[in-house]
A = this chain, B = another copy of it.
Amino acid sequence: MTIRYGVIGTGALGGFYGGMLAKAGQDVHFLFRSDFEHVQKHGLRVDSILGNFHLSQVNAYKIPADMPKCDVILVCLKTTGNHHLPEILHPIVHSGSVVILLQNGLGLEEDLSEQLPEAMFAGGLAFICSNKIGPGHINHLDYGKLNIASYNVADPLVLSQVVSDFQQAGIHADLLPDLKFARWQKLVWNIPFNGMTVVLNTTTDRIMANENTRELSKELMLEVIRGANACGVPLKESLAQQMIDMTIKMKPYAPSMKLDYDHRRPMEIEYIYSKPIETARKAGFEMHKISMLEKQLRFIQSHL
């Protein structure tokens, strides 16, 4: 089976993962915005710890209507633009299309499958350090693991094939059995560090170096874990200390929300904070501190 891939949003994530698939010979069609003309002329360039490469011939598009129907579509846009997705995806999905959301947060697939019932959805969780450093120019600095899990994909073989395609392209990819578990698990790290680096205008290493914020990070993690538990997701509390230990060992890092803040772009508050808070609340658990962090972020967003 040959899959026709679509990549929506060819930035740090889409440029790297889509570029790796294309380099491995897969049939990949990329939607660009501002970089379209540049890539048509000069191709796509990826500097990567796995080896630099350059794709001179790229199936590049500027509007979805010009794209062919795709079997699997990797959505690599920020969630702050998700209200545009039904319109963007509509022309390129067919009745068997699988849309994989390489995005952070909770409730993404729920919202989109309501708005675009003709497609099936899966989540993609990228553990990667990658940036777009110029038009059509991606810099992949570290990690790269991609976990995929079905939301409502009817045929499990499609996702197995996708994982296999990624693996053959040199990506450390896995198919996970439980999307909700995977999304909550990723939030255990994302919730404390995205918000705290913004509110305190700092980086992960400084948060870890101060005993007050190190403790607060763990408290926020425990709140995520207990929120997940209330929703029936069996994350263990010991995960908090593991993630603290891991973060202490990391190089100084500015999470994606901090980069958005620094560049005065909209922050992904809705799906990383509001949806988890709301979901846990419906299950009877109030995430007090995370809710405070959300309000601080919304204040900061309103003054960006």
Contact check, B295 vs A216: say whether CB atoms are below 8 A apart.
yes
Chain A 283-304 near chain B by CB (<8 Å), digits 1 or 0: 0000011001111101110110
A226 to chain B, nearest CB (A): 12
Bound-complex Cα distance A200 to B299 (A): 8
Chain A 194-213 near chain B by CB (<8 Å), digits 1 or 0: 00000110100011001011
A299 contacts which chain B residues (CB < 8 A)?
200, 202, 206-207, 210, 212-213
The verdict on A298 contacting B206 (CB below 8 Å), with A289-B288, A292-B292 known, is no
The verdict on A212 contacting B289 (CB below 8 Å), with A199-B199, A206-B303, A303-B206 known, is no
Asked if A215 is at the interface (CB within 8 A of a chain B CB), the reply is yes
Bound-complex Cα distance A74 to B215 (A): 38
Kindly identify, within residues 154 to 205 of chain A, every residue whose CB is under 8 Å from any CB belonging to chain B.
Answer: 199-200, 202
Contact check, B288 vs A210: say whether CB atoms are below 8 A apart.
no
Bound-complex Cα distance A296 to B295 (A): 14
From B215, B298, B303, A295 is in contact (CB under 8 Å) with B215
Chain B residue nearest in CB terms to A216:
B295
Bound-complex Cα distance A178 to B288 (A): 32
Most buried by B among A206, A295, A302: A295
